Amino acid sequence: MRHSVRIAHAQADAAVQTPYPTTHHEQDHDMAITAGPNARAEQTTELSIQNRTLEMHLLQENLARAHMQERLQEAEDQRLALRAMRVAKLRRKAERASLRARKVLATAVL
């Protein structure tokens, strides 16, 4: 990428404000590097490029975290579904045993 295009991208990225991190993990990694008031344009550009690189790295971490949360939720849903199936199976078994006991009791009374 040409240097002038990189500078334009870096300046555009610097103009955009990033929202405050929403989670504690993001706050730990919010290491935005800023230039002082008397910094040269090249320094500011380089720092902006570093910030953009850091943001891209954090984007990948956030994506991985979201993916893991989704997988954990799927596993929890699967456990709940299996538990519900076991409960239904045990309920049917208990109903059949109750019916058998009633039949035995009915035949013993007659």
pLDDT digits (tens, 9 = 90+) for 47-104: 777 777 878 888 888 999 999 999 999 999 999 999 999 999 999 999 999 999 999 9
pTM: 0.44
> From residue 22, how far is each of 14, 29, 72 by CA, in Å?
20, 12, 20
The model's pLDDT over 30-50, given as tens digits with 9 standing for 90+, comes to 454 555 556 566 667 777 777
pLDDT of residue 78: 97
Burial degree of 66 (CB within 10 A; 0-12, 13-18, 19+): exposed
pLDDT recorded at residue 92: 97
For residue 14, what pLDDT is reported? 63
- What whole-number distance in Å separates Cα of residue 83 and Cα of residue 76? 11
